[in-house]
Amino acid sequence: MRKLQNVLFGSDAESFVCVEDKITGEPVYVTAEHFIKGTKHDPFIMEKTPNGVYMSCLDNVLAEFGIPPVRRENPEVWVQSFHKAKELVSKQLPAGHFLKQMPAVIMTDDQLVTEHSRTFGCDPTFCCWTWETNPSPEAEDKNLRSSGLHVHVGYDNSDVNMTMDIMKYFDLYVGVPATLIEPANKRRELYGKAGECRVKDYGGEYRVLSSYFMSSDELLHWVFKASNDAVSAFEKEEYDINSLEARITNAISNNDANEAKSLVKEFGILV
């Protein structure tokens, strides 16, 4: 058994910005370019805490925020941190605007008039299974935009090889069951295929989930529990995770529900 020390979970997450249609009452998706503070390379510090900072930045046409890291024993702190971050970001929005968590949205042309809104600015991501750089995102519909909930995991004396293996367990315990929970959407045309991650100096960033998973406290609790389960499975090392690569990638990237259900049943995974 391999025990990770001082495990922390964090997140950066994206939301669409909306106004309400005065006739239908339905949300109308608008660009966040005019009012969200901060950039990817120079985020805005919304609030400092003893454990870290709440930050915001503009990501394409989305509002993005980050939360301070949370100890793996504190699920309630995790959930409340998302509430706090949403509240702080919402203060930047004009009257009548609100955040909405949707995996993917087709934006209207009038909201994509700037070069910034037409540019996907993410740094390269990698696949934990192949160690290869993922292709730059490109969808058939150029107006498709998606939002993610990225889970960061940190631990003492982080190691690249260990982190890439941890991300594989995240695929099994987080990414696979997520396909059975989340409604059908087009996000994977851009992001969120199996194994999508980044290696950080403190650990790794798992990038498969959409922002749908922060649309309720129940889902946020599930993400935290599933992330803990992934780390615990890595620590126990009871089976060869690499032998499951084909099944896991098929379940996530091809949205194969039968494969996902089979894996969930075989390994007793929380859904």
Q: Which residues pair with 28 in a beta bridge?
A: 19
State the DSSP H helix or E strand holding residue 249, giving kind and residue range, or none if neither: helix 245-253
Q: Measured between alpha carbons, how far is 144 from 135 in angstroms, rounded to an integer?
A: 17
Confidence of residue 122 (pLDDT cuts 50, 70, 90): low
- Place 173 in a pLDDT band, splitting at 50, 70 and 90: very high
Q: What angle do CA 108, 185, 224 make, to 5 degrees?
A: 115
Higher pLDDT, 102 or 137: 102
Percentages helix, strand, coil for the chain (3-state, rounded to 5) are 35, 25, 40
Work out the angle at residue 224's Cα, subtended by the Cα atoms of residues 58 and 81, and round it to the nearest 5 degrees. 50
Q: How confident is the model at residue 240 (pLDDT cuts 50, 70, 90)?
A: very high
pLDDT number for residue 141: 92
What average pLDDT does this structure show over 152-178? 98
Q: Closest by alpha carbon to 117, among 79, 89, 151, 145? A: 145
Q: Is the pLDDT of residue 247 over 70?
A: yes
Provide mean pLDDT across the span 37-41.
94
Q: What is the pTM of this model?
A: 0.96
Which phi and psi (to 5°) does residue 254 adopt?
A: -100, 5
Q: Check residue 121 and give its pLDDT.
A: 57
Tell me what pLDDT residue 1 has. Answer: 80
Beta-bridged to residue 56, according to DSSP, are: 44, 65
**Contact assessment for residue 257 and residue 180, using Cβ atoms and an 8 Å cutoff:** yes
Looking at every residue in the chain, the average pLDDT score rounds to 96
CB 203 within 8 A of CB 197: no
Contacts with 172 (C-beta within 8 Å, 6 or more apart), sequence order: 230, 233, 241, 244, 248, 263, 267, 269
Q: What is the pLDDT of residue 203?
A: 98
Q: What is the pLDDT of residues 71-94, one digit of tens each?
A: 999 999 999 999 999 999 999 999
pLDDT above 60: residue 256: yes
pLDDT in tens, 212-222: 999 999 999 99
Tally the residues of the chain: 271
pLDDT confidence band for 244 (50 / 70 / 90): very high
The region that residue 59 occupies, defined by phi over 0 for left and psi between -120 and 50 for alpha, beta otherwise, is beta
Q: SS3 for 164? A: helix
| Closest among 194, 155, 159 to 4, alpha carbons compared | 155
DSSP per-residue string spanning 214-233: GSSHHHHHHHHHHHHHHHHH
d(CA 253, CA 241): 17
Which tens digits make up the pLDDT trace of 197-211? 999 999 999 999 999
| Rg over CA atoms, the chain | 18
- Provide CB contacts within 8 A for 25, sequence distance 6+: none
Range of weakest confidence among 62-66, 113-117, 244-248: 113-117
